[in-house]
Amino acid sequence: MSRSASGKNVEIEGRFVQFDVGANIPYFISDHFTMGKWTWQLSVLQADGSQKHTHVTLCLSQPDSTHVAASVSLKVICFPKNHPVVVINFPGVHDVSYDHDQTWTVKDACTSTRFLVEVEFVNIKTYGRVQPFWLSMSRPIWRTSTEAQSGLARMLQEGILTDITVNAVGGSIRAHRAVLAARSPVFLSMFSHDLREKQLSTVDISDMSIDACRAFIGYLYGDVSEEEFLAHRCELLAAGDKYGVGDLMKACKKSLRDDVCTENLLERLQLAHTYGLSTLKKTCVKLLVDFGKMYEIPEDFAEFVKSGDQELVGEIMEKIAVFRGRMFPPTTSSVMASTSSPAPPPTAGSSASNPEPDRPALLRRSTRLKIQDAQINK
């Protein structure tokens, strides 16, 4: 008799959804989950005696969303006992809409083993307009559109009664002391005391390019475009931290977290660690370890372990150990054996306290994997 389970183990991080599928349950259905503004559901029909392959299906379960189509990609991460982790990458992206479910076929890979299904929501199409999915998840918070802000933007754009020059790498911008001082406590301090900036009517920002500086000043006036903001988020984050612009920091942190992906994951992790961005760091660690991204970028991850910030590397290695313990829980007999058997004495030529193992070598042993190109049955 087949069993089915309504999965309460769907996890969402950014635009990634992970479905933890247990063994020995031929038909596994997730709870409905919300991604963006829409409701979705995953189901898995596992291989068994009568079913040679495993089938994964994603559907949009919202009847009023006939105008919506999402482009998604799929990965399956298998954890066979006593074997390396297997990552199955399905090529390309596929559209899912209310009247068109998407089913992927996993060939001979997940029989009798626990595995994770990961769906990445790449783009969303609404009424024919396509945009990155993460931009649809919330209203942008880096722009305002009041008449007062429009007036300030015009003052900046047309150079109306400017009284300060901001110098950056590659150029300069004319601005207004009052506006800068109102938006930044650091600028307020500069212009309120008898400092060089006040005397010379100049501010030198030597660690920003002119394009990034223009986006920064534009943000202070409420006049930065979406393209400018997205292109210079990392420099804007640093500027927000340096000049005490809390709302800019908030906007950058949210934006950087929303579009974390495999390609920028390690860079964002280091950025979060440097600036103490706990939410972004938590997202990066979860994607790297729990969502198995470390298996997809083994060379980059090995380099990170070898040359990255050792405090951060230590945190990640601890998370990996916890994750592997959760994926491969010890049996009762192995626990008893490990607690009842005394440690063997050191052999000749060895030390009672072993030196710390080489991290890259440890990584290569712990993250050995076999990446298979999965073919989709048509």
The CATH number assigned to the domain holding 123 equals 2.60.210
9 shares its domain with 116: yes
Range of the domain at 218: 147-258
Residue 351 has pLDDT above 80, yes or no: no
Range with the largest mean pLDDT of 12-21, 25-34, 73-82, 264-273: 264-273
For residue 113, name the pLDDT band (cuts at 50, 70, 90). Answer: low
**pLDDT one-digit tens code per residue, 59-72:** 998 887 778 889 99
Q: Which residues pair with 39 in a beta bridge?
A: 34
277 shares its domain with 236: no
CA angle 272, 273, 276 (to 5 degrees): 75
Q: Residue 276 — φ and ψ, nearest 5°?
A: 65, 40
* End residue of a domain, out of 112, 137, 162: 137
155 shares its domain with 244: yes
**pLDDT one-digit tens code per residue, 47-57:** 776 677 889 99
Q: Is residue 195, in this structure, part of any structural domain at all?
A: yes
Question: pTM, whole model, 2 decimals?
Answer: 0.70
Two tokens at 112? 């009798």
Q: Is residue 290, in this structure, part of any structural domain at all?
A: yes
One-letter amino acid of 136: S
CA 360 vs CA 126, 238, 317, 365: distances in Å = 46, 31, 11, 9
Q: Is residue 337, in this structure, part of any structural domain at all?
A: no
155 shares its domain with 251: yes
Note whether 303 and 85 are within 8 A (CB). no
Residue 296 has pLDDT above 50, yes or no: yes
For the chain, percent of residues with pLDDT exceeding 70: 77
Q: Is residue 215, in this structure, part of any structural domain at all?
A: yes
The CATH number assigned to the domain holding 248 equals 3.30.710.10
Q: Is residue 369, in this structure, part of any structural domain at all?
A: no
222 shares its domain with 246: yes
User: Which residue do the tokens 């400017």 mark?
Assistant: 162
285 shares its domain with 243: no
**pLDDT one-digit tens code per residue, 174-191:** 999 999 999 999 999 999
Note whether 31 and 7 are within 8 A (CB). yes
Q: Is residue 334, in this structure, part of any structural domain at all?
A: no
Q: Is residue 305, in this structure, part of any structural domain at all?
A: yes
Note whether 8 and 31 are within 8 A (CB). yes
For residue 87, name the pLDDT band (cuts at 50, 70, 90). Answer: confident
Domains in the chain: how many in total? 3
100 shares its domain with 33: yes
Measured CA to CA, the distance from residue 359 to residue 7 in angstroms comes to 36
Q: Is residue 359, in this structure, part of any structural domain at all?
A: no
273 shares its domain with 244: no
What integer pLDDT is reported at residue 129 of this predicted model?
Answer: 77
